[in-house]
Chains A and B, each alone.
Chain A
Amino acid sequence: MDLAFTKEEQAFREEVREFFRGNVPPDTRRKLVEGRHLSKDEMVTWWRILNKKGWGTSHWPKQYGGTGWTSVQHYIFNEELQSYPAPQPLAFGVSMVGPVIYTFGNEEQKKQYLPRIANVDDWWCQGFSEPGSGSDLASLKTKAERKGDKWIINGQKTWTTLAQHADMIFCLCRTDATAKKQMGISFIVFDMKSKGVTVRPIQTIDGGVEVNEVFFDDVEVPYENLIGEENKGWDYAKFLLGNERTGIARVGVSKERLRRIRDLASKVESGGKPIIQDAAFREKLAACEIELKALELTQLRVVADEGKHGKGKPNPASSVLKIKGSEIQQTTTELLMEVIGPFAAPYDVHGDDGSNEAMDWTAQIAPSYFNNRKVSIYGGSNEIQRNIIAKAVLGL
């Protein structure tokens, strides 16, 4: 057992830090620190800088433009990225559809899509959830019918994150209505500008527009846009969701936020002195930091295990990451609310693309608190995670 990073790993951390210092646009960083929304342009600009460096698709196999880093290097990179902070790569492209395409797609598809995913020439969105299919995803109803060399797609997706920016969608569609529910699903990708695709924004309780409903009305899609085999889509979806086990804890994000809370709490006054001098507040902050330290260690256990034994057999501790990671993220936003007190009230009426610089950053705190309620709901709600632990780990 050894907690220390090797010299090479420490040097790597320095290299990553150095690159962020020199290359993340300062305004982008500031907006993230202040909890503001980034515009599409700001995000894409950064992702292209990252891609040019060769770090945009770091976890892909080398032959498709990956870095060949060890598990620990990936961990360090993510931690530094999250805590700098800089925008994380667009998960829908880089972490989700990319790996499905290089693993199950044909050569033509790899050539066509992978470079464009890496450079965010196409912004991808995820067509999984439906109004009637949340945690019970396999009950989805969106239908793709084969007609000659085309699919005709009808149905509706929802909670489609940033679909307003999207050029492409990867979609789970029912292609065999007679099969058992997991067996009749296919994984199809298509252009969001296709005739018959309608995007309707959903305003969430933070006031922002991050998610959308997407309607398909006789959308014609070339047959070759099917990824892998027909009716095997459920397997690809499971592969996709299992691909990112450790990033979900978002330890770096919470670390950055806690540093910010400590900093703010030494400036904002309560009872005539900085709120950090209030013993009750300080202990709440310490409690959260301790929880985060435990989570960080749990994550490192999973990372070290993957590095040694490969990703084949998931470490039982990995199921802890989603539950604790989301709870801690939520606690950090609660603590921010507490620090800012009555100045949480002003409401920032911003658009759906970028931030309203006229409003003070304090106006972002309550929206961030409201918005973060989602983290225990998405990606398999925490109740689903508990079901998974009960079944897969405890054998109940």
Chain B
Amino acid sequence: MDFDLNEEQRLLKESIDGLLTDSYDFESRKKYMKEKGGWSKAVWGKLAEQGLLGLPFGEADGGFGGGGVETMIVMEALGKALVLEPYLATVVIGGGFLRHAGSDAQKAAHVPGIVDGSETLAFAQLEKNSRYDLFDVSTTAKKKGDGWVIDGEKFVVLNGENADTLIVTARTKGERRDKSGIGVFLVPASAKGVTKKSYPTQDGMHAADITFTGVEVGADAALGNPDDSLALIERVVDEARVALCAEAVGLMDESLKTTVEYIKTRKQFGVAIGSFQSLQHRASDMFVAAEQARSMSMFATMAADFEDAKERSNAIAAAKVQIGKSLKYVGQQAIQLHGGIGMTMEAKIGHYFKRLTMIENSFGDTDYHQRRVADGGGLI
């Protein structure tokens, strides 16, 4: 039973916090947002230089052998600084698929590029009607010779605009909502038949809707078993959920800190508004919500390594529920306590609120995960 970071993890935290303090103030972020695809290549290069992009990969693959706790540290820091760069899409999700299911050849083809920052990825999973069900897949991958032909439409693909490689879920067998017959494919973004419609997202990132029309890929495009990869998808998405929980904790910490600083300095009726008890109690409840979220983020981080897949997903679903409830409270109250200034794009608090809000609706919202826990027999 230990909730402390070890020495190496503390150093990692210091180094990423230091890097982001130097290169990610609110004004710089606005500039990065205007670059192609909505993030900064220069910052991405710095993350690569510090070894952060290779963090979770095994040493044999050119990585640094970091585990869940290391990813938690990075995601919290990225949240705190409201980072736009595609760490989740590339390192956590893309990297997750390669780590769990990549052949030696697939890893050799992609991991070095991820680690040195020259290649980014995107996860093309969401469909028009699939909502949060990972098994709800209409996009098809049909066998052609040794390879596959992919047809279908994917939506809100984060980093879809800049990604070099797309990781696409597609059905090789069965009907739309069958749990078997789902494969995962590596598709070059430049492949013939891939068309993209890119746009910014509410939280300042960029995404794309991507259409696949007769896209031909080789036999080596399939990650894992092309006929039965739902368990793989669930595992990687669980890791993405855990990472989002950590990012949300970073965002909540910073939202609370910013709000408390604001109500200490903002004066009305001749006194700091933070001297009013109604506001103090609101801030205290934000603190309680943020701490409960932190506890569940740590729990989810450790649960990601549970052997039993059901126990793992139940724990992570529970964490996503707590994070969802906490982030809504902290985000909304942060705006309320800021008052009018909280409604403006000029103040950074609104941007934290927007990112938090988008996290709630990523990979299953609070109701979705609460239902999963309820239907799975609870937590006690």
CB of B291 within 8 A of CB of A298, answer yes
Q: How far is the CB of B302 from chain A (nearest CB, A)?
A: 4
A292 at the interface (CB under 8 A from B): yes
Instruction: Give the segment of A43-51, A154-162, A316-324 that binds chain B.
Output: A316-324
Interface membership of A300, Cβ < 8 A: yes
Q: Is B258 part of the contact surface with A, judged by Cβ < 8 Å?
A: no
**B284 in contact with A294 (CB, 8 Å):** no
Q: Which residue of B is nearest A286, CB measured?
A: B374
- The answer to whether A289 and B373 have CB atoms under 8 Å apart is yes
How far does the alpha carbon of A179 sit from the alpha carbon of B292 in the complex, in Å? 42
- Could you tell me the dominant secondary structure of chain B's interface residues? helix
Chain B residue at minimal CB-CB distance from A6: B1
Closest to A298 in B: B295
Give chain B nearest CB distance to A261 CB in angstroms. 9
Residue from B277, B288, B375 within 8 A of A387 (CB atoms): B277
Please name all residues of chain A whose beta carbon is closer than 8 Å to the beta carbon of B280 when the two chains form the complex: 386-387, 390-391, 394, 396
Q: Is the CB of A389 within 8 A of B287?
A: yes
Q: Which residue of A lies closest to B263 (CB)?
A: A396
The residue on B at minimum CB distance from A317 is B291
Given contacts A289-B380, A386-B280, contact A279 B1 (CB under 8 A): no
Q: A1-B298, A283-B370, A304-B2 are in contact. Are A396 and B264 (CB under 8 A)?
A: yes
**What is the minimal beta-carbon distance from A246 to any residue of chain B, in angstroms?**
13
User: Roughly how many angstroms separate A319 CA and B264 CA in the complex, as a whole number?
Assistant: 21
Bound Cα distance from A262 to B376, whole angstroms: 13
Q: Are B292 and A324 within 8 A (Cβ)?
A: yes
Residues of A within 8 Å of B263, CB to CB, are 396
Residues of A within 8 A of B322 (CB): 290-291, 293-294
Whole-angstrom distance between the alpha carbons of A128 and B295 in the complex? 34
- Select A289's contact among B69, B375, B378, beta carbons within 8 Å: B378
Q: Does A9 contact B (CB under 8 A)?
A: yes
Mark contacts of A163-187 with chain B using CB atoms, 8 A cut-off: 1 yes-contact digit, 0 otherwise.
0000000000000000000000000
Instruction: Name A396's contact: one of B2, B283, B288, B371 (CB within 8 Å).
Output: B283
Cβ B264 vs Cβ A395 within 8 A: yes
Query: Is A2 in contact with B374, judged by CB distance below 8 angstroms?
Result: no
- State whether the Cβ of B3 lies closer than 8 Å to any Cβ in chain A: yes
- Alpha-carbon gap, A324 to B279, bound state (A): 19
- Roughly how many angstroms separate A358 CA and B380 CA in the complex, as a whole number? 32
Q: Across the interface, do A283 and B371 meet the contact criterion of CB distance under 8 Å? A: yes
Interface residues of A in 351-396 (CB under 8 A from B): 383, 385-387, 389-391, 393-396
Residues in A whose Cβ lies below 8 Å from that of B288: 319-320, 323-324, 389
A290 to B323, CA, bound (A): 11
- Judged by a CB distance under 8 angstroms, whether B347 is at the interface is no
Sorted nearest first, the 10 A-B pairs with minimum C-beta distance are: A297-B295, A390-B280, A286-B374, A389-B284, A386-B284, A3-B302, A289-B379, A282-B374, A294-B292, A298-B295
Can you list 28 A-B contacts (CB < 8 A)? Answer: A1-B5, A3-B303, A4-B1, A72-B1, A255-B380, A279-B371, A282-B374, A286-B374, A287-B370, A290-B321, A293-B299, A294-B292, A294-B295, A295-B292, A295-B295, A298-B291, A301-B295, A308-B4, A316-B291, A317-B294, A386-B281, A386-B285, A389-B283, A390-B284, A393-B284, A394-B260, A394-B283, A396-B275
Interface residues of chain A, those whose CB is within 8 Å of chain B, are 1-6, 9, 72, 255, 258-259, 262, 279, 282-283, 285-287, 289-295, 297-298, 300-301, 303-305, 307-308, 316-317, 319-320, 323-324, 383, 385-387, 389-391, 393-396
